[in-house]
Amino acid sequence: MLNVHLVAHTHDDVGWLKTVDQYFYGIHNDIQHASVQYILDSVICSLLAEPTRRFVYVEMAFFSRWWHQQTNATQDVVRNLVRQGRLEFANGGWVMNDEAATHYGAIIDQMTLGLRFLEDTFGSAGRPRVAWHIDPFGHSREQASLFAQMGFDGFFFGRLDYQDKMMRKKKLEMEQVWRASASLKPPAADLFTGVLPNMYNPPANLCWDVLCADRPIVEDPRSPEYNAKELVDYFLQLATAQGQIYRTKHTVMTMGSDFQYENANMWFKNLDKLIQLVNAEQANGSRVNVLYSTPACYLWELNKANLTWSVKQDDFFPYADGPHMFWTGYFSSRPALKRYERLSYNFLQVCNQLEALAGPAANVGPYGCGDSAPLNEAMAVLQHHDAVTGTSKQHVADDYARQLAAGWGPCEVLLSNALARLSGSKEEFTFCRNLNISLCPLSQTAKSFQVTIYNPLGRKVNWMVRLPVSKHIYLVKDPSGTVVPNDVVTMPSADGQELLFSASVPALGFSIYSVTQVPGRSPRAPVPHPGFQKPSSRDLTIQNEHIWARFDPDTGLLVEMKNLDQGLLLPIRQAFYWYNASTGNNLSSQVSGAYIFRPSRQKPLLISHWAQTRLVKTDLVQEVHQNFSAWCSQVVRLYPGQRHLELEWTVGPIPVGDGWGKEVISRFDTALVTKGLFFTDSNGREILERRRNYRPTWKLNQTEPVAGNYYPVNTRIYITDQNVQLTVLTDRSQGGSSLRDGSIELMVHRRLLRDDARGVGEPLLEPKLGLWVRGRHLVLLDKAQTAAVRHRLEAEKALLAPQVVLAPGGGTRYHLKVAPRKQFSGLRRELPPNVHLLTLAYWGPNMLLLRLEHQFAVREDRSGNLSSPVTLDLRDLFSAFTITNLKETTLAANQLQASASRLQWTLNTGPTLKPSPCRLDPASITLQPMEIRTFLASVQWEEDG
């Protein structure tokens, strides 16, 4: 007997063609008919009408909002449906996150938020067993690893490459086990993974929603519209055919789609009839049984089938839904929003940490009510697969940015309360959100001010502070009152100055520096460096104690880089190019758009063959300012002690008056022999090998030699000849590739004139704030065996940069009896370099959430021992509080590790060892390579003073 599992579901985008609120309330139905509040109302009524019906819901951003608007009586009814398994939650994150442009830390945060809501509301009855990513555009290996570590039994998704899908149907590999980590011991990151048969839509002719036009079932043979027999025969044929591409006696059909079930009765009434009519055919010898089911029930049956499953070890990028249709444009779309999201992740971690370190004083204090929740929720919304991807309509992208901005405010209040409590001084704190464009009213006008620098890392950092100031000489003092060197440099635009000084900031703590104008003196007239000029024969080099870089005096382009510590010299040319966006051709009408990258030709065009340059050299910085065109410039920078070259690029507004959409790349060309290989990170964590024009699991027919070789680069991309490694770190997600040996390219901006026909109905023009984009690439040159140590630690520093808070100074004491302090560390000892403090956040009264992560992979550090297991003593690690009790949980903190169990699967690679439970000892917490351990800690905060 073939069992057909009907999964009634709705797919509710947390913003896409309408904003989150417009979707929830059903506003602007002229743009798209969709209203989540009515969907949930209607589904609950229909479930109550007939006890066999079941339904699946996914997005907690919507469900939690609806829940809080219900009466107690309705909430009780819903709790009952959940307990009976008739309303089942799948996935359970705040959103169904994207998998290409998202950072693993933000994915974990948004899943934790949604799963915590379910745990608090429904207990274990509401806990999702199945991950459900039916719409994201390609699937990352790290995502599967995180899902496994969260305790999910399996994972179902809708979209995969059209060639991959054809091959899987033939080989009966639509379902297999994904081994999602090369470091974690199986089965820790093993996850049963299934491809749904029809993306996530109902089969043709069987959609019974208000939004569909299919004919309802008419079972009265006297009616001229009678169609029951025809539909039943069609269904049996469909089920049998579908059963042949899956291995068990069970198959699944997704009965629902985008924003369906607003009138749930229409769907359920027809599904009731379908089930009854099809099952009645068993009396006539039919071998098909249909039932209302859920993803978890279907998975349970697959597990009981006791088959041996094949294993997948790579990922599902890039995704194409047809020849010439590669969804690799969204890796780079809306770069300003992508950066704002990454910056907000940094700020949220600072906010969470200070809330944990200062205790309740952070939430209620002299500056009002501080709250991390609004930013946490806004960040969760941004992980949605139409948000950080850049694939929404423009007014929706604006609303995503609005939500982030609104979340920053309550966190700024929280920071003020926490810094006053921890420093012992109530200052008029001010947050300069526009430092990236050199705007900060306080530092530009005050005669003296103080600078508090908070470091969210578990190790001390030296950080070059850059603040816009007026034309003066300044005196800068460190927390102990010692004068530290500073420089005032003129900005590239030549109409402003920036003050530079190097600050040393302790682990998980702050240092307070004071800045004072020296009266009556203005800076010495700078050596008359002319403004921008065409390069001449003069020597164009910059260097510090670790790195040397040379620029061609004729073109102004970077041509050579040296690692002085390791004696490596690499000829390297960096320049900006643009691809002309396709508007369709005789091979395919597909154009380049928000989702799709399709250049009209393989060779990109140089923006300029040469750059006007200006050289800046002071004791604290050496820079080459390159101006390529009116809309493209770059500063190549070296600070003392820095072991990488910093390239700060500014691109935009991209001109499109010539009628050509443009996709701009920064490209690095070297003579390294790389044999078609390059390496990219997976969501900022493990590294995957990529090979040009190749897929590890099927023979690729490459139709787009550029777009078909683009991969998501979340934090880094590198090439190596096994001796030398060139790594480029990014400050946001970008698409990247190596299209010829020795070359790396990253897409920094794109502006397009046509819609790519994937539903947005709008070209990616970004008329306002997203036009002009600034960002950084950090370039590392290393020996291959030591490269991982550099790029791992640099990427961690770039992601969690120090937070700078200014104040005029002269504040009042927080406690009358306690002297203020200018320096503070939340740790009694630094964390070892291979340990990353992933999460330190408030969880509840006297409870904190703590995540510690081993940030190196197995065998990654080939020269030292950073890839070895590492053991920590947590008992007295933190200075601001004492841990009185420690409980270990799964990754999303919604179940205790000791009682968590997952379904076991038999693999064709042989048996996996069952992990042995170990006793939790706070004095000895061991992390294996790439392991994340999650704890709920009961704490007692230290008394003031």
Residues marked as catalytic? 135
Query: Tokens representing 43?
Result: 């589904």
Distances (CA, A) of 929 to 150, 151, 155, 194, 871: 18, 19, 24, 28, 11
User: In a 3-state reduction of DSSP, which class is residue 46?
Assistant: helix
- Exposed/middle/buried for residue 136 (C-beta within 10 Å: 0-12, 13-18, 19+): buried
Q: How far apart are CA 411 and CA 419, in angstroms?
A: 12
CA 355 to chain centre: 23
Sign of CA dihedral 195, 196, 201, 206: positive
Non-local (6+) Cβ contacts of 14 within 8 A are: 20, 23, 59, 61, 62, 94, 95, 96, 381, 384, 386, 387
Query: Tokens representing 11?
Result: 């797919």
Residue indicated by tokens 């690690």: 877
Q: What is the dihedral of CA 664, 667, 673, 675, to 10 degrees?
A: -20
Backbone angles phi, psi at 388, to 5 degrees: -65, -20
Residue positions counted in the chain? 945
- What does DSSP say about strands 448-455 and 461-469: parallel, antiparallel, or unpaired? unpaired
Query: Tokens representing 471?
Result: 């034309």
SS (H, E, C) 355-396: HHHHHHHHCEECCEECCCHHHHHHHHHHCECCCCCCCCCHHH
- Cis peptide bond N-terminal to 456, omega within 30: no
Q: How far apart are CA 786 and CA 810, in angstroms?
A: 47
Helices (H) and strands (E) in the chain, counts: 15, 49
Query: Tokens representing 899?
Result: 């009682």
Query: Tokens representing 778?
Result: 């950090």
Whether 576 contacts 628, CB under 8 Å:
yes
Cα maximum dimension of the chain = 102
Q: How far apart are CA 378 and CA 109, in angstroms?
A: 11
User: In a 3-state reduction of DSSP, which class is residue 136?
Assistant: coil
Instruction: Identify the CA nearest to 130 among candidates 46, 9, 309.
Output: 9
Q: How far apart are CA 625 and CA 531, in angstroms?
A: 10
Non-local (6+) Cβ contacts of 304 within 8 A are: none
Residue indicated by tokens 């929740």: 373
CA 642 to chain centre: 27
Whether 47 contacts 40, CB under 8 Å:
no
Q: How far apart are CA 929 and CA 915, in angstroms?
A: 16
Query: Tokens representing 47?
Result: 């479930």
Non-local (6+) Cβ contacts of 11 within 8 A are: 58, 96, 134, 135, 200, 256, 257, 258, 259, 260
Residue indicated by tokens 């939650």: 89
Non-local (6+) Cβ contacts of 749 within 8 A are: 332, 335, 651, 652, 654, 663, 664, 773
Query: Tokens representing 635?
Result: 């500063």
Backbone angles phi, psi at 497, to 5 degrees: -120, 155
- Cis peptide bond N-terminal to 653, omega within 30: yes
Sign of CA dihedral 889, 895, 898, 904: negative
Element (H, E) at 467: strand 461-469
